[in-house]
Amino acid sequence: MEPYSFEKFIFGILVWVALLTSPCISSAPCNFPAIFNFGDSNSDTGAISAVFSPAPPPNGETYFQAPAGRFSDGRLIIDFIADSLGLPLLNAYLDAVGSNFSHGANFATAGSTIRPQNTTRSQSGASPISLDFQSAEFSSFRTRSQIFRKKGGVFAELLPKEEYFSSALYTFDIGQNDLVYGYKLNFTTEQVKAYVPDVLDQYSKVIKDVYALGGRAFWIHNTGPAGCLPYVLELFPILAAQVDKHGCSAPVNEVAQFFNQRLKELVGQLRKELPLAAITYVDVYTLKYTLITKAKELGFEHPFVACCGHGGKYNFNNSRRCGAKITVGGKEILIANSCKNPSVRVSWDGIHFTEAANHWIFQQIINGSFSDPPVPLNRACNKLDIN
Ligand SMILES: *[C@@H]1O[C@H](CO)[C@@H](O)[C@H](O)[C@H]1NC(C)=O
Ligand SMILES: *[C@@H]1O[C@H](CO)[C@@H](O)[C@H](O)[C@H]1NC(C)=O
Ligand SMILES: *[C@@H]1O[C@H](CO)[C@@H](O)[C@H](O)[C@H]1NC(C)=O
Ligand SMILES: *[C@@H]1O[C@H](CO)[C@@H](O)[C@H](O)[C@H]1NC(C)=O
Ligand SMILES: *[C@@H]1O[C@H](CO)[C@@H](O)[C@H](O)[C@H]1NC(C)=O
């Protein structure tokens, strides 16, 4: 072989190796046919409304013009995700009326935790449907949907095809309530941190169970800065007294970051244990913290005040939440109503974000710039060697 062609040969091999190892070049769009979502109120699209009490007006006013099972004036991040993938908005698995699961199902319920709680919903606000039960529901849905699809007719129209389970996007947004409920039990920050490893063990088990049922593409949101939320600041005066330079509770956010650091490590571990899984870790914490602390620069107002609520420093009163009514002289009066312009507000009801805030967060995450690995949403099925 003469030197010139030998160099060309080596160069060719180098280009070939570069192509094989370069994440950008090797990843193709995924065409997800369905989404299966797991989580809490950040992504509940109707479960708590179907099973317990409907989200009252003015929830839903901005986009749906009526309550639509969501704790927001409009769409949630999961709605923007579905829409951007060309899929219909997800119905809650527990919603027996009018649901169409042909392109996915939503197992999230407001108040859900990863670990089952030892308190009831009326005691603590915790949903009885913790992540392990959401996983059991998914398993049941996976099996029964295929039995019914075979009956044809409307069943075939309302239920997903078998092959969708391996090509779907599996989204997760949960963990915030596991942390906040510890404080409701009067735990110290150190005590809350101490149970985080157990919470993550149980999270890990669910992801493995979904993988065993065919799940391959996982999109996992980390937990947000709960220490910046009006309800946390109102309910825990001691924690609200220890604020950072922007006005968020430092210990609560420290716990959230502690959880996120370990969640990120867990994701790295799961990539090794689940060789066919593509797992994307999405840093919504940083985005929510940026939105709240730089609200003005981003065109938003009053990030620490609920748009819809009833009085107090944060316009949040736990016994008069968004939509609360009182009866005066036989007439019902809405005393926790919406603010004038939710489109410039961050916090909808002191716990959840406005549609405008959810949309801003979604726009930042869609291209992958806050993800690990940094792949865009529509390419999140591609397994990349990043560890
Ligand atoms: C519920 O109680 C059991 C038994 O004491 C305990 O192991 C578990 O950690 C508790 N769960 C929570 C979320 O506190
Ligand atoms: C269910 O949704 C799919 C996708 O949007 C649609 O094609 C189908 O017609 C719907 N079926 C029924 C019965 O609404
Ligand atoms: C937590 O402490 C508050 C104030 O001392 C008390 O009213 C409440 O009952 C305590 N909660 C629990 C679950 O122990
Ligand atoms: C919440 O609202 C009720 C009814 O208006 C009021 O009595 C109570 O003092 C309020 N609580 C706080 C903490 O502001
Ligand atoms: C991702 O999108 C955001 C919001 O549109 C934009 O600011 C950012 O520069 C984009 N990042 C990349 C890597 O394209």
- For 179-188, how does the pLDDT look when each residue is reduced to its tens digit (9 = 90+)? 999 999 999 9
**Ligand 4, atom 4: closest residue by C-alpha:** 320
**Does the pLDDT value for residue 291 go beyond 70?**
yes
* Residue 352 known to be catalytic: yes
Confidence of residue 1 (pLDDT cuts 50, 70, 90): very low
What ligand is nearest to the CA atom of residue 118? 1
What ligand is nearest to the CA atom of residue 198? 1
Is domain 31-302+350-379 in CATH 3.40.50.1110, yes or no?
Answer: yes
Cα–Cα distance, 353 to 234 (Å, whole number): 16
- CA dihedral angle for residue 95, residue 100, residue 87, residue 162, rounded to 10 degrees: 110
pLDDT in tens, 138-157: 999 999 999 999 999 999 99
pLDDT in tens, 215-236: 999 999 999 999 999 999 999 9
* Segment 250-263 mean pLDDT: 98
State the number of CA atoms in the 13 A half-sphere of 139 facing the CB. Answer: 14
Chain centroid offset of residue 87 CA: 17
User: Which segments within the chain are labelled E, that is strand?
Assistant: 35-39, 104-106, 169-173, 217-221, 278-282, 325-328, 331-334, 371-372
Residue 186 CB less than 6 A away from ligand 3: yes
Residue 367 CB less than 6 A away from ligand 5: yes
User: Is 381 strand, coil or helix?
Assistant: coil
**Does the pLDDT value for residue 24 go beyond 50?**
no
Cα–Cα distance, 318 to 310 (Å, whole number): 9
* Residue 349 known to be catalytic: yes
Q: What is the pLDDT of residue 27?
A: 73
- pTM summary value: 0.93
Q: Which helix (H) or strand (E) holds 252?
A: helix 250-273
Of 21-30, 129-138, 265-274, the least confident: 21-30
Query: Ligand 2: which residues within 6 Å by Cβ?
Result: 88, 100, 102-103, 154, 157-158
Å from CA of 186 to ligand 3 middle: 6
Other beta carbons less than 10 A from residue 320's beta carbon? 16
pLDDT in tens, 48-72: 999 999 999 999 999 999 999 999 9
The atom of ligand 4 lying closest to the CA of 318 is 1
- Catalytic position from the list 41, 49, 102, 130: 41
Residue 185 CB less than 6 A away from ligand 3: yes
Q: Find out whether 79 and 45 touch, Cβ atoms under 8 Å.
A: yes
**Ligand 4, atom 11: closest residue by C-alpha:** 317
Q: Amino acid identity, residue 121?
A: R
What ligand is nearest to the CA atom of residue 314? 4
- CA dihedral angle for residue 352, residue 368, residue 221, residue 40, rounded to 10 degrees: 40
Residue 364 CB less than 6 A away from ligand 5: yes
**Does the pLDDT value for residue 13 go beyond 80?**
no
Q: What is the pLDDT of residue 111?
A: 98
Query: Ligand 1: which residues within 6 Å by Cβ?
Result: 115, 117-118
